[in-house]
Amino acid sequence: MNSKWVEFTTGIFTISGIVALIVLVFQSTNFSHMIGSDVYKITASFDNVSGLKERSAVSVGGVKVGRVSQIDIDKDSYEAVVTIEIDKQYDQIPEDSSLSVFTAGLLGEKYIGMQIGGAPDFLKEGSHINLTQSSIVLEKLISQFLFSQSEKK
């Protein structure tokens, strides 16, 4: 093996290793969500967001339009305040749209589903949504069901 060949294949090896790393970053991690985020932020208050996490998806009819960036609690009302980043390309969402916390599948992730309203004005940076539906807490549901069953008897 002459040294040109050694140097050439070593160069190829180094390049392919670095390319593999870059492809991994873009293909398999959340890096592509972090950069180039041309988004606008809105907030929404919920009674209960149990199970919802930062980076959870926000979707309209199953299409992801944004994600949850922050979950806080309101100091006065003790409601959960969720900050949502929505992609700039979806800038024509009516102001009176409502949000609910859903579960994907039986054991799946929580996500926020958006029901489109009919107002002529659109959501913009800093808008606040009050029309929300909390996430379903399974224990509550079961206990309600059990109590209603026992009352019937």
Q: Which residues contact another protein (rule: CB under 8 A)?
A: 3, 6-7, 9-10, 12-14, 16-18, 20-21, 23-25, 27-34, 55, 57, 105-108
Residue (119 or 138) nearer to another protein, CB: 138
CB of 43 to another protein, least distance (A): 22
CB of 46 to another protein, least distance (A): 21
Q: Whole-angstrom Cα distance, residue 97 to residue 122?
A: 9
Rg (CA), the chain: 23
Q: Whole-angstrom Cα distance, residue 74 to residue 152?
A: 39
DSSP annotation of 94: B
CB 56 within 8 A of CB 109: yes
Residue (44 or 68) nearer to another protein, CB: 68
CB of 119 to another protein, least distance (A): 30
